[in-house]
Amino acid sequence: MDNPKTFDALSAIVFMVGIYEGPIPFVAKLFGAEPVLSVPSRLGTPTWWIVSALVVVVAIVALARIDDAKRHALAAG
Residue 64 is predicted with a pLDDT of 97
Residue-averaged pLDDT of the chain: 90
Digit-coded pLDDT (tens) for 7-29:
999 999 999 999 999 999 889 88
Q: Output 72 or 3, whichever has higher pLDDT.
A: 72
When pLDDT is cut at 50, 70 and 90, the band that residue 37 belongs to is confident
Q: What is the mean pLDDT of residues 33-55?
A: 88
Residue 77 is predicted with a pLDDT of 67
Which of 55, 61, 60, 49 lies closest to 25, judged by CA? 49
What is the domain partition of the chain in residue ranges? 4-76
Which of 57, 56, 52 lies closest to 38, judged by CA? 52
Which of 43, 34, 35, 42 lies closest to 17, judged by CA? 35
